[in-house]
Every structure is written in C-alpha cells, then in structure tokens.
Amino acid sequence: MVEQDKDVGVIAVLMERFSSRRLPRALSLKEKVDRGELLGSGDIAFLQRVFADADYVKQFADKYPEYQSLCAQVAHLYHQITERALENEQRV
C-alpha cells in the first residue's frame, strides 16, 4: 500500500472519530464550563486522551496543509475549555 493511501485511510478514521465522538463531547464540555461548572474525573480523562493523541494528529496536519486550519480551530476549542475550567476551579 502506498503511504499516501494509508494516510488517507488513517485521516478518514480520525475525522470520523472526531465528528462522531470527540467534537460532540468537546462542545458538551465547553457548555459545561461556560455555565461555571467544574470538570469531573471522566472529563479530565477525556481531555488527557485528546492531548495525548495531539502529536499523532499533528503529523498529518504537518504533512497535509489542508487540515491545518481545522486542527488550529480544534486546538482553540480545547484551549477555551481548559482555560475556562481552570477559571472555574480557581473560583471555588
């Protein structure tokens, strides 16, 4: 299998996982922290998995520039979540 063909398959799986699982969960967390709520241990574990996968995903964004804007927007969303979550924790 040609490397680019393999990459296309991996990107397809990553996009499916993002759209069906990660984005809905991230948006739910954003709503939660925007309401002033604290993140639970499951929420934090989810974010840790996302951040652990970030280097793997970044290699595709580096290799295929058409995905860089999407990755930047997603990184910004996770930054907003963690920033607000920290503010909420400090308020308590």
pLDDT digits (tens, 9 = 90+) for 26-79: 999 999 999 999 999 999 999 999 999 999 999 999 999 999 999 999 999 999
Average pLDDT over residues 9-25: 96
**Pick from 40, 36, 30: which is nearest to 92 by CA?**
36
How many structural domains comprise the chain? 1
pTM of the model: 0.91
Q: Give kind and range of the element (H or E) at residue 80.
A: helix 68-91
For residues 43 and 84, the answer to whether their CB atoms sit within 8 Å is no
CA distances to 53, 54, 60, 74 from 7, in Å: 16, 16, 8, 20
Q: Which domain holds residue 27?
A: 3-91
Answer whether residue 1 shows pLDDT above 80.
no
